Amino acid sequence: MQVFTSVAGLGHGTGPGHPEQVQRLAVVLEELAAEGIDVTDAAPATIDPLLARHPLAHLRQLREAADRGAILDPDTPAGPGSWNAVLGATGATHAALRHVMSSGGGAFVAIRPPGHHALAAQAMGFCLVNHAAVLASSARAEGRDRVLIVDWDVHHGNGTQAMVDNEASTRFVSMHQWPWYPGTGAADERGVGNCFNVPLGPGLPRAVYVDALWAAVVAATTGWTPDIVIVSAGYDAMQGDPLGGFTLEPADYATWTQRLTERFDVPIIALMEGGYVPRRLARGVIATVQAMA
């Protein structure tokens, strides 16, 4: 397996006091290096892959807003480095796709800003573009027709669900805190039968969360085998995260990763989403990377 990043993500400024800080990515890269894990800084992408999910007019508006510095929604600032961060993150996700397509293995993509709340024509929830949904389109263009997206961020991936809930060839599984931001992800939100939401309350034993997500993955894939697995790998479901109330530990992400690699003999790409205690985020990332390796 291989880890990819874009150092352009360090140029996305969110302002003092914002939870989605530069230190999130900086500390992850620092701790990966301390573990002796090689990280490839990928070249930025063009906007072409983004057009599969985001209208050109919206992308132009997003770039213009970032260049002048703007608040895109109440939680989502952008500044002069933000557009480069978007293209850098897109480049890293697609470098990961090229890697797994040639190797058949796995990849982890350490990027910011995150993506799973971004809608087709609206940035929201710290997210500017939707990396998981864009990557799913690119994987399908490479012949990986059946795409499984597993979202273990503590918040529901509303943007991803909105983009894929009419695609029978995509299965979307999300476990998330309920009720919580962004207010979506009820169990009866099934799309065309391809969405498997697991809304749970805070403060439950770790094993409850681990088993509940895995049960949903099994339900989503019984009689249906994916050609590729994309993980929206948020780490704000860990004990002590200021934006969530779940109780997970780094070992739980290793457990899920091991189970995914054992169940599916297909490429797996994990994309970094939330996690707002940088050192804890880094330990979750490392647990995932080591389990994938």
Q: What is the DSSP string of 199-234?
A: EE-SS--HHHHHHHHHHHHHHHHTT---SEEEEEE-
pLDDT of residue 3: 98
Catalytic residue among 12, 54, 117, 156: 117
Structurally, how many domains does the chain consist of? 1
Residue ranges in the chain modelled with pLDDT below 70? none
pLDDT of residue 129: 98
pLDDT of residue 227: 98
109 Rama sector, left if φ>0, alpha if ψ -120 to 50, beta otherwise: beta
Q: What is the DSSP string of 21-74?
A: -HHHHHHHHHHHHHTT--EEEPPPP-SGGGGGTS-HHHHHHHHHHHHH-EEEET
Domain assignment of residue 174, given as a range: 2-292
Q: Which two tokens stand for residue 103?
A: 């190797």
pLDDT of residue 216: 98
CATH number at residue 185: 3.40.800.20
pLDDT of residue 73: 95
pLDDT of residue 273: 98
Question: Is 156 among the catalytic positions?
Answer: no
Please give the Cα distance from 157 to 150 (Å, whole number): 10
| Alpha-carbon dihedral angle through residues 263, 175, 8, 4, given to the nearest 10 degrees | -10
pLDDT of residue 5: 98
- Give the model confidence (pLDDT) of 102-149 as tens digits: 998 999 999 999 999 999 999 999 999 999 999 999 999 999 999 999
Beta bridge partners of 78: 70
Q: Which two tokens stand for residue 70?
A: 């703007």
pLDDT of residue 76: 98
Pairing of the two strands 70-73 and 76-78: antiparallel
pLDDT of residue 158: 98
